[in-house]
Amino acid sequence: MPIRPGRFSANQTDYSAFVNSMADEMDKALNELMLLDDLPPLKTDPNDREVRDRRRLFVAIARGIAIHLRDNEAAFRITLPILGNPVVTPDIDVDLT
């Protein structure tokens, strides 16, 4: 399964490409931290401009991370205890569509 950073569609209330993405997980994590500190939960109304603004930031961060990981896959090495072939370079699959 590829890394799904998330994205937006032209329809500003369609979050289908955002759901279950890295950006969505960031949004959920921020909400959990807000609640942990006895702060109000994040707004989730797709018609609220603040919701789209916040999620846009998370999509941008997630896409930047995913692109950076993909473009720098040479930095990743997995060492396995196999004689004769100790290093395996993983293929990082990123879905930016």
Q: Whole domain around residue 39: which residue ranges?
A: 1-97
* Phi, psi for residue 88 in degrees, rounded to 5: -125, 130
Q: How confident is the model over 39-54, as pLDDT tens digits?
A: 999 999 988 999 999 9
* Number of domains into which the chain is organized: 1
Distance, CA of 62 to CA of 7 (rounded, Å):
9
Q: Residue 88 pairs with which residues in a beta bridge?
A: 78
Q: What is the pTM of this model?
A: 0.80
| pLDDT band with cut points at 50, 70 and 90 for residue 78 | low
* Phi, psi for residue 80 in degrees, rounded to 5: -110, 145
